[in-house]
């Protein structure tokens, strides 16, 4: 390491042996170190007091927020952002060649915004020109509006400088950072992904999953700055974590550097060493020993400092102890913020501006970064996947003949393989189910990412749905040099998707908060419906879509055959809105279409069979491939009952609602308002999924689905148990029609 041995003479190095051979442990804590690069450490300590003052005033003004973790991370933030280790230009905070900074401790926004206010004020005073509209930063005058409408939000959001993901829920930001780091490393980029993280987050299961995956994928460009203050919200972390804390990182094979989290000089060295790396293809965690709520009066070193302000009298004392004059009137902190910033001297402002320039100088020109990717990924198409259109003439492997029995999983696998071959920016992975959700062909186009194949595109997540989803989605919510926007597909059984539901929620929040980085991803939900009957209710995928049906910004697509799978995937890619793709396990007959092409599935519903003109009209809205086959088998018996059946195939109720807004005439032609007053909607799962086709709303007896857990059995048996077999469908439809004729159709 290029550290003067006289300066670093007390560094104690230890290479972890045994299973983790090759990982490095360094203890900087209490080492005798000369000032890093000759920096004035006393100045940085004074800036720490100013920054804490801004944090405490921000929380006081809102009477809300998280002072504890914000205060304990102050020196970490200053050392990282002013020490030259972070490649970042505050005048161009979204430069594609910058390092990424993720606040896994997303609640520590008083620090994030206080730091921005301090730096941009210093830049203004130093005469640096920047566009407020371009940088979209929090300035001192904005701090008093913290947590108020149109003010800085309570949790980190990615539209701001020094924040590259929308975070808040513990652990999710760490996994998101991991996904971005995998994307950058696998493209040969020199960028680092830094994570500001709390120690209690190690309790969250998805961080266990992420620590595993990041070592397995040899992702050595991620650096975690971990705030080890021993407290979560409810109490000491030791109440929930039984092993020595370092084991949670060393035991996974991470490089670990220990430092005093309130010693700026130790942190400066720690970040410089971590940035330089260890040439061992392992990620690094900097364990910073800190005091929660440092200098926050009576709440210092207590869990009480986590998410609640101190009383006003204590706040007054705190500011005085930090060296600032008495605060102004209670509830008005604008004057306090100005007084705190009065302590920022002209020399301080110039120092900050100079150090920030050093960080900006670390960013390589975008043209050089693009050249790196071309060199790293030879013979791969450097094409934005979201710009790829459906070929006018489909490749033979993506077109299926009517009558052939093809699993929709097979169609999806072939499409994903095809897309993988068209672009260098498509990633695929599964929750230890690749052979079942069928992602293997796409994963192996460029291979699985590991130490021997760092530029692969397949990711082995293991049984880790939550982390799988978070990583896979976050890597799509970044813009790489050249404007390239990665796309991902990840898969598990539909019934297991609930395990990553909140990760999807967070990704959709990020898409909404920062449209400039809106990501597109495909979440495969296979084994949909009762088809996995023999596994019993633990694996029968009948209710999972209820979660995603409620989220804005994502739609559930449920194609009915292999050709519809292909058309809906191309449609979704061009539309750019994330999807959950529902696929049944069984082989499904490719539909014989006369007047309605498979692309009609992209309307959310289409007419598969019109009325014949003989008998009493009855419209059926059918969702589910096997269920449609059962309905088709029921047609002769329904005809004997003098029922003239129209079949509308439903592939996405949400897409159909969208069609009603954009092309109401077309929607009416598919299913008119008059028909919706009598239509019977059938779904091979949660009956409310097709509620949009019923008018007026609330006529529940025309929503036929599954409203209880089913027993184990063969698929045909389970469909019978659910009342969705051919015989039951005939009886139900006849009964509803006869009830309607009796004048009381809704009983």
Residue ending a domain, among 310, 332, 364, is 364
d(CA 517, CA 485): 9
d(CA 28, CA 19): 24
d(CA 90, CA 118): 12
pLDDT of residue 742: 53
Among 4-13, 298-307, 655-664, top mean pLDDT goes to 655-664
Q: Does residue 306 form part of some domain?
A: yes
pLDDT digits (tens, 9 = 90+) for 355-373: 999 999 999 999 999 999 9
Residue ending a domain, among 335, 364, 393, is 364
356 and 90 Cβ atoms separated by less than 8 Å: yes
Reply yes or no on whether the pLDDT at 173 is more than 60. Answer: yes
CB atoms within 10 A of CB 303: 21
d(CA 124, CA 109): 22
Number of domains present in the structure of the chain = 3
The pair phi, psi for residue 523, each rounded to 5°, is: -100, 110
For 187, the token pair is: 């493209």
Q: What is the band of 697 on the pLDDT scale with cuts at 50, 70, 90?
A: low
Same domain, 301 and 408: no
Reply yes or no on whether the pLDDT at 607 is more than 50. Answer: yes
pLDDT of residue 530: 83
* Bond from prior residue into 707 cis (ω within 30 degrees of 0): no
The boundaries of the domain holding residue 143 are 12-364
Query: Of 289, 202, 290, 206, which is closest to residue 251 (Cα–Cα)?
Result: 202
Same domain, 316 and 179: yes
225 and 195 Cβ atoms separated by less than 8 Å: yes
210 and 471 Cβ atoms separated by less than 8 Å: yes
d(CA 334, CA 329): 10
| Run of H or E residues at 557 | strand 555-557
pLDDT digits (tens, 9 = 90+) for 507-517: 999 999 999 99
Same domain, 646 and 720: yes
In our burial notation (b when 16+ CB lie closer than 10 A, e otherwise), range 652-673 reads bbbbbebbbeeeeeebeebbee
Same domain, 408 and 499: yes
Same domain, 197 and 247: yes
Same domain, 663 and 567: no
Same domain, 516 and 638: no
> Across all residues in the chain, what is the average pLDDT?
91
Q: Does residue 220 form part of some domain?
A: yes
Query: Of 225, 80, 718, 180, which is closest to residue 477 (Cα–Cα)?
Result: 180
d(CA 253, CA 503): 25
CATH no. for residue 405? 3.40.50.970
d(CA 550, CA 500): 15
pLDDT of residue 747: 37
78 and 48 Cβ atoms separated by less than 8 Å: yes
Residue ending a domain, among 551, 566, 589, is 589
Q: Does residue 369 form part of some domain?
A: no
Q: Does residue 709 form part of some domain?
A: yes
Reply yes or no on whether the pLDDT at 714 is more than 90. Answer: no
Tell me, rounded to whole angstroms, the distance of Cα 27 from its chain centroid.
Answer: 34
Among 2-6, 606-610, 712-716, top mean pLDDT goes to 606-610
d(CA 221, CA 198): 20
468-482, 538-552, 677-691: lowest mean pLDDT where? 538-552
pLDDT digits (tens, 9 = 90+) for 139-172: 999 999 988 888 898 999 999 999 999 999 999 9
Reply yes or no on whether the pLDDT at 744 is more than 70. Answer: no
The pair phi, psi for residue 198, each rounded to 5°, is: -95, 155
Per DSSP, the residues of 379-425 read: TS----GGG----SS--GGG---TT-EEEHHHHHHHHHHHHHHH-S-
Same domain, 582 and 607: no
Residue the block writes with tokens 């035991």: 251
Q: What is the band of 12 on the pLDDT scale with cuts at 50, 70, 90?
A: very low
Mean pLDDT of 120-130: 95
Mean pLDDT of 425-452: 96
Query: Of 470, 434, 384, which is closest to residue 195 (Cα–Cα)?
Result: 470
Mean pLDDT of 48-73: 94
286 and 276 Cβ atoms separated by less than 8 Å: no
pLDDT digits (tens, 9 = 90+) for 441-467: 999 999 999 999 999 999 999 999 999
pLDDT of residue 700: 59
21-35, 94-108, 501-515: lowest mean pLDDT where? 21-35
pLDDT of residue 8: 39
Q: What is the band of 14 on the pLDDT scale with cuts at 50, 70, 90?
A: very low
Same domain, 339 and 475: no
pLDDT of residue 69: 93
d(CA 590, CA 406): 7
Share of the chain above pLDDT 70, in %: 95
pLDDT of residue 503: 95
Reply yes or no on whether the pLDDT at 205 is more than 60. Answer: yes
Same domain, 496 and 549: yes
Q: Does residue 594 form part of some domain?
A: no
pLDDT of residue 701: 67
pLDDT of residue 6: 29
- Per-residue 3-state assignment (H helix, E strand, C coil) for 117-134: HHHHHHHHHCCCCCCHHH
Q: Does residue 344 form part of some domain?
A: yes
Query: Of 114, 46, 109, 73, which is closest to residue 322 (Cα–Cα)?
Result: 46
Q: Does residue 504 form part of some domain?
A: yes
The one-character DSSP state at 309 is: P
pLDDT of residue 464: 94
Same domain, 657 and 585: no
219 and 283 Cβ atoms separated by less than 8 Å: yes
Reply yes or no on whether the pLDDT at 597 is more than 80. Answer: yes
Mean pLDDT of 338-342: 95
CATH no. for residue 726? 3.40.50.920
């Amino acid at each position: 390491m290029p550290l003067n041995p006289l300066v670093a003479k007390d560094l104690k190095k230890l290479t972890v042996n045994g299973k983790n051979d090759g990982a490095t442990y360094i203890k900087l804590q209490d080492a005798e170190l000369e000032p890093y690069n000759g920096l004035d450490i006393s100045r940085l300590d004074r800036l720490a007091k100013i920054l804490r003052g801004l944090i405490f005033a921000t929380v006081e003004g809102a009477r809300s927020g998280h002072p504890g973790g914000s205060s304990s991370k102050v020196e970490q933030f200053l050392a990282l952002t002013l020490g030259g280790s972070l490649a970042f230009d505050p005048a161009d905070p979204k430069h594609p060649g910058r390092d990424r900074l993720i606040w896994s401790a997303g609640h520590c926004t008083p620090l994030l915004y206080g730091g921005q206010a301090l730096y941009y004020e210093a830049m203004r005073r130093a005469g640096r020109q920047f566009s407020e509209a371009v940088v979209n930063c929090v300035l001192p005058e904005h701090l008093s509006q913290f947590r108020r409408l149109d003010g800085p939000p309570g949790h980190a959001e990615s539209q701001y400088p020094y924040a590259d993901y929308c975070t808040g829920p513990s652990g999710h930001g760490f996994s998101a950072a991991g996904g971005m780091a995998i994307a950058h490393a696998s493209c040969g980029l020199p960028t680092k992904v830094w994570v500001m993280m709390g120690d209690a987050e190690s309790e969250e299961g998805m961080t266990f999953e992420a620590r595993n995956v990041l070592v397995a994928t040899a992702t050595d460009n991620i650096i975690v700055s971990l705030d080890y203050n021993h407290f979560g919200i409810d109490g000491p972390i030791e109440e929930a974590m039984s092993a020595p804390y370092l084991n949670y990182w060393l035991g996974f094979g991470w490089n670990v550097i220990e430092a005093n989290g309130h010693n700026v000089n130790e942190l400066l060295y720690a970040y410089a060493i971590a940035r330089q790396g260890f040439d061992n293809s392992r990620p690094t965690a900097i364990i910073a020993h800190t005091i929660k709520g440092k200098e926050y009066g009576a709440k210092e070193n207590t869990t009480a400092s986590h998410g609640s302000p101190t009383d006003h009298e204590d706040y007054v004392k705190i500011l005085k102890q930090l060296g600032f004059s008495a605060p102004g009137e209670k509830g008005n902190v604008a004057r306090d913020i100005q007084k705190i910033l009065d302590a920022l001297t002209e020399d301080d402002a110039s120092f900050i501006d100079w150090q920030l320039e050093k960080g900006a100088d670390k960013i390589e020109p975008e043209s050089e970064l693009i050249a790196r990717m071309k060199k790293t990924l030879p013979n791969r198409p450097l094409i934005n996947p979201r710009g790829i259109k459906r070929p006018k003439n489909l490749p033979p492997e993506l077109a299926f003949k009517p009558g052939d029995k093809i699993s929709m999983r097979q169609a999806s696998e072939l499409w994903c393989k095809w897309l993988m071959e068209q672009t260098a920016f498509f990633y695929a992975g599964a929750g230890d189910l690749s052979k079942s959700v069928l992602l293997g062909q796409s994963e192996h186009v460029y291979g699985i990412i590991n130490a021997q194949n760092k530029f692969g595109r397949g990711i082995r997540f293991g049984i880790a749905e939550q982390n799988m989803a978070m990583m896979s989605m976050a890597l799509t919510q970044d813009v790489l040099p050249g404007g390239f926007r990665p796309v991902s597909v990840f898969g598990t059984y539909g019934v297991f998707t609930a395990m990553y539901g909140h990760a999807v929620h967070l990704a959709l929040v990020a898409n909404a908060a920062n449209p400039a980085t809106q990501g597109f991803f495909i979440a495969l939900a296979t084994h949909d419906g009762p088809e996995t009957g023999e596994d019993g209710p633990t694996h029968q995928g009948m209710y999972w879509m209820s979660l995603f049906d409620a989220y804005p910004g994502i739609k559930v697509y449920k194609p009915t055959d292999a050709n519809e799978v292909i058309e809906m995937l191309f449609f979704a890619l061009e539309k750019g809105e994330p999807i959950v793709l529902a696929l049944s396990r069984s082989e499904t007959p490719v539909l014989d279409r006369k007047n309605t092409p498979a692309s009609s599935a992209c309307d959310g519903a289409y007419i598969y069979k019109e009325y014949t003109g003989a008998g009493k009209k009855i419209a059926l809205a059918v969702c589910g491939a096997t269920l449609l086959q059962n309905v088709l088998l029921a047609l002769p018996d329904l005809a004997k009952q003098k029922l003239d059946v129209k079949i509308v195939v439903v592939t996405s109720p949400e897409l159909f609602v969208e069609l009603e807004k954009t092309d109401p005439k077309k929607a009416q032609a598919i299913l008119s308002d008059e028909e919706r007053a009598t239509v019977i909607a059938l779904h091979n799962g949660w009956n409310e999924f097709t509620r949009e086709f019923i008018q007026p709303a609330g006529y529940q007896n025309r929503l036929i689905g599954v409203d209880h857990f089913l027993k184990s059995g063969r698929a045909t048996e389970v469909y019978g148990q659910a009342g969705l077999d051919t015989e039951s469908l005939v009886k139900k439809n006849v009964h509803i029609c006869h009830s309607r004729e009796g004048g009381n159709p809704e009983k």
